[in-house]
Amino acid sequence: MLIVKSLHLWMVVSWFAGLFYLPRIFVNLAMVEPGSVAERDRLLLMAGKLYRFMAPIGILAVGLGLWLWLGFGFSGGWLHAKTTLVLLLIAYHLFCGRVLRDFQAGRNTHSHIWFRWFNEMPVLVLLAVIFLVVLKPF
């Protein structure tokens, strides 16, 4: 089970790297001047590749987490809170895909300031998950 736990942590760290960086690309996309086609296309290419890379990593992170849950039989309120936060992260990930499609179609309606705030959500969720897993407060 320690191998599964190690792989889970590796996938979680990798998934969060994508969840932290993709919205930063959105900030830059929202700041692109209307005539800067090459810059916009380059950022869209980066965002699309990152999203396609981080999606299977997120699936593996969640799958390995479920394996741990079933293998160890964890219970308690802390695990329910963590599971809720993981579901929120999955929704965030999927929403990032929608935002990317909106950028690709030229339909983005949010400012770079909105994306700067949007970028902070996974940071706060990660902090909460770490405290829940380590402290198991309830």
30: its two tokens: 């929202």
Residue 80 has pLDDT above 80, yes or no: yes
- Fill in the amino acid letter for 98: R
Checking if the pLDDT of 74 tops 80, the result is no
Q: Which residues contact 58 (CB under 8 A, 6 or more apart)?
A: 11, 15, 18, 89, 90, 93
Q: Quick check: 20 and 57 in contact, CB under 8 A?
A: no
The predicted model gives 70-78 an average pLDDT of 84
For 6-59, the pLDDT digits (tens) are 999 999 999 999 999 999 999 999 999 999 999 999 999 999 999 999 999 999
Q: Which residue has the tokens 């039989």?
A: 73
